[in-house]
Structure 1
Amino acid sequence: MSERHDRHVSDRHVYEYAVLRVVPRVERGEFVNAGVLVYCRPLAFVAARTHLDETRLLALDSDVDLEGVRAALRAVEGVCAGGDAAGQAAHDDAGRRFRWLIAPRSTIVQPGPVHTGLTADPAAEAERLLEVLVR
């Protein structure tokens, strides 16, 4: 390998991500992708990017609590951001917050499976994943 290739690879870090899904009626198994969680351990980075397509969600369940879904997505973003917005998770490191957020749950906003990749810029990767997987 060339020195240039080695340097390029060494600038990239392993990251993990999961898609956030809104499941308005669990018994039907239908969902709308509404965000991504991204965690990069070497950079102590964790973030959530969300976008709720309300029209698609209402097509699955016209009675869905949109304000409740918006609040749940904001809460996920708050936990990722840390500080006062993270509530009880405020003092946890990025990894613990990510692991807590990807734990299986039966609420209307649920994490999908965790996947991995390589990136030099996890914040840009979060935006890219949001565009590709959600919007």
Structure 2
Amino acid sequence: MNPYQYAVLRCVPRVEREEFLNVGVVVYCQRADFLDVAWDVSRERLASFAPSLDVDTVCAGLEFVAGVCRGDAALGGVAADDLGTRFGFLKAPRSTVLQPGPVHGGLTADPAATLADLLARLVRLPHGMQE
């Protein structure tokens, strides 16, 4: 089993209201040399939560996170750093619409499966719930 850390990515349309919806999860597992993000944005859910929100901007922010995880050379800077530094960048608090939540940890034999499980449990609507 390998220790891992994760942060839930939150869409926070109005920071002063401290309301958010979970939209993604970043998982970092040093021993497995793993850093990845999974996300699921429901346009309908975000539109009902924050009608004036530009959902495309939220999705672009999530694509940026994915690029940092992949080490996309086109992003330069932080995307060229080691995985631990990239995770440190991604988990740092920001005052933007897309914010990381607190970092949590656990043990995993399969970081990709753990990422999929966290996305299902923490981001997607529970089975049977309607949008």
Q: Report the secondary structure of 2:31's partner residue.
A: helix
Q: Which has the higher helix share?
A: 1
Superposition deviation, residue 90 in structure 1: 2.9
* 1:109 aligned onto 2:81: no
- The partner residue of 1:91 within 51, 60, 80 is 80
Which contiguous aligned blocks of 4+ residues in structure 1 show a shift greater than 4 angstroms? Answer: none
Specify the alignment match of 2:127 in structure 1: none
Gaps of 5+ in 1: 1-11
Unaligned runs of 5+ in 2: 125-131
Q: How does 1:28-107 map to 2 (within 5 A)?
A: 28-107=17-96
Percent identity, please: 52
Give 3-state SS (helix, strand or coil) of 2:76's partner.
helix
Is the Cα–Cα contact under 8 Å of residues 30 and 60 in structure 1 kept in the other structure? no
* Residue of structure 1 aligned with 2:7, choices 9, 18, 30: 18
Normalising by structure 2, what TM-score? 0.90
Bigger-Rg structure (1/2): 1
Distance between the aligned counterparts of 1:13 and 1:29, measured in 2?
34
Cα RMSD for the two superposed structures: 1.1
Shift of 1:91: 2.0
**Structure 1 residues 85 and 116, CA, compared in 2 at 3 Å: closer, same or farther?**
farther
Q: How many pairs were matched up? A: 124
Q: Per-residue deviation at 1:85? A: 4.8
Distance 1:87 1:109 in 2: 20
